Chain A
């Protein structure tokens, strides 16, 4: 399973430990180089001291070595060694500490010191320096003044002498091992500290995420009204908290809608089933009551037709939700369509003594689907008549201006309040909590909303003033 904490810990540990290892290695190499350089510098000083001690007199080279000044070349314990060769390979001088043994000679370059490790004649590990020089020529043998004061090493004539010094390097090796061990120990200790510190730091850094996860874990379908507290949340998590709260708000609304729908559906279907069953039970229990049985049959037919209508409408809504079916468009005369629908409602208007004000142009062409648009207009008009109280007023206007056609429908309505508007298009929603009456089931505006979405129409509901319900249906015309 992917875990930010594990990945961060792993990557951070790898990164920090790599840096630590590299840093330690670099430090070791630098100190090692410096130690060896200091060791070599000591050898270098000595080899140059030997060079100064050499003097050429006529065809002879002499070394002015004084053992008391350099006792390290004479002592028997942990001595140092030197050996000087003439260019023909003949040994010019060598340290008393060598006794019978010899230092291994190399081909030295003139004036350039060479350093290397070797095994000393007594078996100890050692380090040596070697160079070739031309010794100082004694003043009385000088034929010209050209060599006066010149470095012996840079002269190019005379008798060349190879100088080689060697000394014990055990201490240097010990120091280098101690350095390596110290580096390893320090690195290990630092790695251990980092290894325990990094996961803890990451864990505490990710704590707000854990808190969020824990809070989310406790939210279930019954606590969708809870919201995450945004105070004290790190800036990086604030957008997540806000999005989560928005999501919870939407989920809560959706759950509430579903709950209402389920309750409404239960009532809309249970009541007619209860009616059918009660009528059947009583008719069967007293079969001699033929009048009741006959009336129950008629009522049963009405109940089943109403249930059929509800189920058909719900299925239509479900189909419209799930499937963007192909819609056939045609040019329709909207003014004529509205006129026809109103004319079919004259009886209802008269029975409720509703005043109708119609403002329709002679002709108004829109491109739409005849069946779906007819359903929308029919439902809006049915709704206006159904919810308009007796002796109320309805106005219907069709406006065509610029690139928009708008149907405006207003009716007297003393029941709705502003809070009801968001629920108007919910399936089976009814203002009347008792859900009495068979005339409607709360599906008309759901159909309007669904069909309008499919036809790219916009429907707005408003309560512009007290006791007045307003619906706008807008057609956005394409630019010609």
Chain B
């Protein structure tokens, strides 16, 4: 899952960025409204976390321009402006959620997760694919009743595939959604991650859940090919 953070406070950038990455998100960060708009126009983000008082271009203008272009990216406004008028204006301009500073990081994380679920039209925080179960709130994975320990990046990959279960997901889409500009992407980074995930999900006498479609990408399904 990929998140864009547009926030001018360096300390908040560092803390939120670190927390989101630790939670398995790929995070792009900028402190400037103009750059934020450019990034949001150029990439496909699952969620944009947007401050309102920004140098360059204010957050409401960024949001308005995104919506004017017809972009459906989920936007969470994170601001010190806390009056009812500010909230109403933000939501009416096209924000999907509004969180005022100061905030609890867990709340921000929960709201980001909720927006992601909304994006993939899933209201249930638990995803079931055959005997595989993902608890997106507790970030726990079980298969056939057996708990599987995953690294944050592996979990993010599995969650991304699970949210698009039954669909073929290309390598490029995975790269764009799970890796931010801090990672130096090698050509086989996605293949390696898929390989590692397959091993952890492997269960004797059970079908492989992640299938490769040569030249197209990967498919997470409980049905045997």
Chain A residues engaging chain B, CB cutoff 8 angstroms: 263, 266-267, 270-271, 273-279, 281-282, 285-286, 289, 292, 295-296, 299, 303, 432-436
Contact B12 A282 (CB under 8 A): no
In the assembly, what is the distance between CA of A273 and CA of B102, in Å?
6
Chain A residues with Cβ below 8 Å from B53 are 267, 433-436
Closest 9 A/B residue pairs (Cβ): A281-B105, A274-B101, A278-B15, A274-B102, A275-B11, A282-B19, A270-B80, A436-B8, A434-B53
- Of the candidates A278, A432, A433, the one whose C-beta lies within 8 Å of that of B105 is A278
Contact B12 A285 (CB under 8 A): no
Chain A residues with Cβ below 8 Å from B12 are 271, 274-275, 278
Contact B102 A270 (CB under 8 A): yes
Q: Take A433-B53, A433-B58 as given contacts and tell me if A281 and B9 are in contact as well, using a CB distance cutoff of 8 Å.
A: no
Asked if B184 is an interface residue, CB under 8 A from chain A, the answer is: no
- The total of chain B residues at the interface (CB under 8 A) is 26
- Of the candidates A267, A303, A433, A435, the one whose C-beta lies within 8 Å of that of B11 is A303
Q: A273-B102, A292-B14 are in contact. List 11 more A-B contacts (CB 8 A).
A: A266-B81, A270-B80, A270-B82, A274-B80, A275-B9, A277-B103, A278-B103, A282-B15, A292-B18, A295-B14, A299-B14
What are 28 A-B pairs with beta-carbon distances under 8 A? A266-B82, A267-B80, A270-B80, A271-B101, A274-B9, A274-B102, A275-B15, A276-B102, A277-B102, A278-B12, A279-B15, A281-B104, A282-B19, A285-B19, A286-B18, A286-B19, A286-B22, A296-B15, A299-B11, A303-B11, A432-B55, A433-B58, A434-B8, A434-B33, A434-B58, A436-B8, A436-B31, A436-B55
Contact B15 A285 (CB under 8 A): no
CB-nearest residue of chain A to B53: A434
Query: Which residues B81-108 have CB closer than 8 A to chain A?
Result: 81-82, 100-106
Chain A residues with Cβ below 8 Å from B22 are 282, 285-286, 289
Asked if B54 is an interface residue, CB under 8 A from chain A, the answer is: yes
CB-nearest residue of chain B to A282: B19
Query: Which residues B1-58 have CB closer than 8 A to chain A?
Result: 8-9, 11-12, 14-16, 18-19, 22, 31, 33, 53-55, 58
Contact B16 A278 (CB under 8 A): yes
In the assembly, what is the distance between CA of A266 and CA of B58, in Å?
18
Contact B55 A277 (CB under 8 A): no
- Which DSSP category, helix, strand, loop or mixed, fits chain A's interface? helix
Distance from A120 Cβ to chain B, minimum over Cβ atoms (Å): 99
Distance from A78 Cβ to chain B, minimum over Cβ atoms (Å): 99
Among B33, B100, B103, B104, find the residue whose CB has the most chain A CB atoms closer than 10 A. B103
In the assembly, what is the distance between CA of A290 and CA of B117, in Å?
32
CB-nearest residue of chain A to B83: A263
Chain B residues engaging chain A, CB cutoff 8 angstroms: 8-9, 11-12, 14-16, 18-19, 22, 31, 33, 53-55, 58, 80-82, 100-106
In the assembly, what is the distance between CA of A295 and CA of B11, in Å?
10
Chain A residues with Cβ below 8 Å from B19 are 278, 281-282, 285-286
In the assembly, what is the distance between CA of A295 and CA of B13, in Å?
13
Chain B residues with Cβ below 8 Å from A303 are 11
Contact B101 A273 (CB under 8 A): yes
Contact B80 A266 (CB under 8 A): yes
Among A282, A299, A432, find the residue whose CB has the most chain B CB atoms closer than 10 A. A282
Chain A residues with Cβ below 8 Å from B11 are 275, 278-279, 299, 303
In the assembly, what is the distance between CA of A428 and CA of B218, in Å?
55
CB-nearest residue of chain B to A275: B11
In the assembly, what is the distance between CA of A274 and CA of B19, in Å?
14
In the assembly, what is the distance between CA of A303 and CA of B101, in Å?
15
Among B11, B22, B54, B81, find the residue whose CB has the most chain A CB atoms closer than 10 A. B11
In the assembly, what is the distance between CA of A292 and CA of B22, in Å?
12
Chain B residues with Cβ below 8 Å from A266 are 80-82
Distance from A290 Cβ to chain B, minimum over Cβ atoms (Å): 13
Among B8, B9, B22, find the residue whose CB has the most chain A CB atoms closer than 10 A. B9
In the assembly, what is the distance between CA of A299 and CA of B10, in Å?
10
Among A267, A275, A299, A433, find the residue whose CB has the most chain B CB atoms closer than 10 A. A275
Chain B residues with Cβ below 8 Å from A270 are 80, 82, 100-102
Contact B102 A282 (CB under 8 A): no
Chain A residues with Cβ below 8 Å from B80 are 266-267, 270-271, 274
Distance from A273 Cβ to chain B, minimum over Cβ atoms (Å): 4
Contact A434 B54 (CB under 8 A): yes
Contact B18 A282 (CB under 8 A): yes
Q: Take A271-B101, A433-B53, A434-B58 as given contacts and tell me if A281 and B18 are in contact as well, using a CB distance cutoff of 8 Å.
A: no
Chain A residues with Cβ below 8 Å from B55 are 432, 434, 436
- Of the candidates B8, B18, B103, the one whose C-beta lies within 8 Å of that of A274 is B103
Contact A281 B101 (CB under 8 A): no
